[in-house]
Structure 1
């Protein structure tokens, strides 16, 4: 008998899709058939992942009008509350709920998911990837230009689609009285534990919710990377390259330290490389981090968590002030397992110095010790998340 479905709705950027897949795997552990829903921008990536469960890349879930230069913290909320776009997304999602007998909807940033769950009479579960302080406090990351106006838009959709739901003002709509999944660890979060303990009944941490590729693919890459030898310096600025100018500094740094360099370059932006520098369009983090001495990255949540779990010291050079990349770098620095470097400070010489500091045995020992504790935490968090998801599905 086919298990009940659980729709996991995530934005169409590759980084979001990766942890959406990781969450879908947890959903499967809880006894559901996961159904991953995202936009068409992620179509090539999703196909490459060879998922073993249903998925859909829908035009109604695209972020084609997203203005990345908008000074507001979350401009995509404006688009995700556009009645025309929301109605199309709701209709697509309702069809998928019926097709896969979904017992719950898990949504990240898609307000259509809230309305779909209400229309189908099934639980809606909120999913947050980082920034538990944004979840629990009215910070600037939650502000939009006209939350009341956006809420009116969503209520208009609910009325026209005959959905009986009482919607709170937009920033609060992301909250769920049933269950909120927050990816990450209280130990390394930028908010004090007492700030989330008050909402303990509705919040559960997911632990290391990361995904790079199938087990077979990670194993294949691990064997290839192991042949490069050590020390190995791994550089990745995400699957969507923000600011390629940092590559010039990396190329300069690669002329100095002894060892090999492995660079993930999705857009073919890296300068001509020397023989000891290996450049690939995509490298599974899990495979690279299993062999890396130090990882240099942008501070994305997935890479940060993956490196923490692998016990690899981290050099963080953020490229997006609208995210928590800098916060992640500061947390790593305070833990003694990383260093935060601004884009302005990023030079070949600075990278060489940073790598030398992070390569010290004491730093590596701290990183490995923290990794052991986080792995134990993650197992406990994952067990609790699986139990809670199963309970939500049973109603």
Structure 2
């Protein structure tokens, strides 16, 4: 089969869109036509890559504001009562977002015939729209598969049942093969998580297609001293959605005491001035090109977002997790359980604890061996180019599922 028309779709955020871009880029380089469907707030980096874009869905921040009736960001919502936060998040991710993507994509798929839909695992509304349109689809992971134990800790345990409920409501109870313990369903599942630390229901699924995770970030310049890497370098970030100035200040104090150089990415939810006057060994930036940075660092201290977790694994760098919410506890448990990281949670995050954990991770030979083993496992996974070459084989006749009325 020659070039095919591909529709990619993901939630409009760094953590949900960036994991799909290496495959989309590889597919475009092989002559396939790429249309990317997500909310307009995230179109700029997609247009810069040369993709056609379609405005569908709603961004997570707007969904929080719509539900709460005010401008409430995920980080602000997290400061509320934990049970209230869990209910807010569950309703947003398993109801508001799926409905919006499902409704907005139906006319798009009716107006233009695509050969294949590639949907990000949390953008389940795109999967439902593809079924109604009779377009074959593949699910692209953004991180680790659902793990009930870690989900209980992060307050997301109800998400699995919520996804199944919305599938049955929109498609009918007999038209979906999702289960609470395997949300990939029957579509091919492009799994970017190393099998050795993947949740068993996903690792052992017959529809699993391994895909090497490749770090992506918008291009930027690194300081010369970072590239020179003349002394140990620690990278600190809490990502793009869960930044917390207090946690960052504590981590900065702890990391400065290690004697290493520290580069901090404050992210869009924290103002750099809120981090005070850092010690001379600490450099604070609003943003850094993370994909370019990771090969130059000796330790990553972070929230546990899937992109940072997998990018650090691929770069062969030990990690200190300071999980704040969402899937971050799942990633922290998986990598720490493999002996390649350490985790500090909640009140455990003190400057002294950060110093001790960082020093251990920088010097422990056993940790270094586990980190190297995970990096080798990732390097052996099929590349985005190899998987892109397989996409035409997933183009097949499918049964049209009428939407429930």
Q: CA distance change for structure 1 residues 237 and 394 in 2, over 3 Å: closer, same or farther?
A: same
TM-align CA RMSD: 3.4
Unaligned stretches of 5+ residues in structure 2: 68-73, 78-84, 398-405
Hey, what does 2:309 align to over in structure 1? 304
Hey, what does 2:176 align to over in structure 1? 168
Distance, in Å, in 2 between the alignment partners of 1:293 and 1:364 is: 12
Q: CA distance change for structure 1 residues 5 and 272 in 2, over 3 Å: closer, same or farther?
A: farther
Distance, in Å, in 2 between the alignment partners of 1:383 and 1:43 is: 23
Q: CA distance change for structure 1 residues 296 and 151 in 2, over 3 Å: closer, same or farther?
A: closer
Hey, what does 1:79 align to over in structure 2? 96
Q: 2:276 aligns with which of 271, 274, 290?
A: 271
Q: Does 1:354 align with 2:352?
A: no
Deviation at residue 297 of structure 1 after TM alignment: 0.5
Q: CA contact under 8 A between 1:36 and 1:55: conserved in structure 2?
A: yes
Hey, what does 1:238 align to over in structure 2? 239
Deviation at residue 34 of structure 1 after TM alignment: 2.4
Distance, in Å, in 2 between the alignment partners of 1:196 and 1:60 is: 27
TM-score, length basis structure 2: 0.77
Q: CA distance change for structure 1 residues 231 and 340 in 2, over 3 Å: closer, same or farther?
A: same
Distance, in Å, in 2 between the alignment partners of 1:110 and 1:228 is: 39
Deviation at residue 242 of structure 1 after TM alignment: 3.7
Q: Does 1:313 align with 2:318?
A: yes
Q: Report how many residues are paired.
A: 364
Q: CA contact under 8 A between 2:22 and 2:384: conserved in structure 1?
A: no
Q: Deviations over 1:291-314 (max 9, x none)?
A: 212110011111111111111111
Q: State the SS of the aligned residue for 1:55.
A: strand
Q: CA distance change for structure 1 residues 259 and 187 in 2, over 3 Å: closer, same or farther?
A: same
Q: CA contact under 8 A between 1:296 and 1:315: conserved in structure 2?
A: yes
Q: Deviations over 1:195-230 (max 9, x none)?
A: 446532x2212222431235xx4xx42756224632
Q: State the SS of the aligned residue for 1:207.
A: coil
Hey, what does 1:102 align to over in structure 2? 114
Q: Which has the higher contact order (CA 8 A, sep 6+)?
A: 2
Q: State the SS of the aligned residue for 1:71.
A: helix
Q: Deviations over 1:79-112 (max 9, x none)?
A: 1344x774233224544xx2xx521011123344
Distance, in Å, in 1 between the alignment partners of 2:39 and 2:266 is: 23
Distance, in Å, in 2 between the alignment partners of 1:349 and 1:358 is: 14
Deviation at residue 263 of structure 1 after TM alignment: 0.2
Q: CA contact under 8 A between 1:93 and 1:113: conserved in structure 2?
A: no
Deviation at residue 3 of structure 1 after TM alignment: 3.5
Q: State the SS of the aligned residue for 1:307.
A: helix
TM-score, length basis structure 1: 0.79
Deviation at residue 264 of structure 1 after TM alignment: 0.3
Q: Does 1:118 align with 2:131?
A: yes
Hey, what does 2:57 align to over in structure 1? 60
Q: CA distance change for structure 1 residues 147 and 256 in 2, over 3 Å: closer, same or farther?
A: closer
Hey, what does 1:261 align to over in structure 2? 262
Distance, in Å, in 2 between the alignment partners of 1:131 and 1:188 is: 8
Task: Trace 1:72-221 onto structure 2 (pairs within 5 A).
Answer: 72=87, 74-75=90-91, 76-82=93-99, 86-95=102-111, 98=112, 102-108=114-120, 109-134=122-147, 140=157, 142-144=159-161, 148=165, 150-151=166-167, 153-155=169-171, 167-168=175-176, 175-189=184-198, 191-192=199-200, 195-196=201-202, 199-200=205-206, 202-214=207-219, 217=220, 220-221=221-222
Q: CA contact under 8 A between 1:318 and 1:326: conserved in structure 2?
A: yes
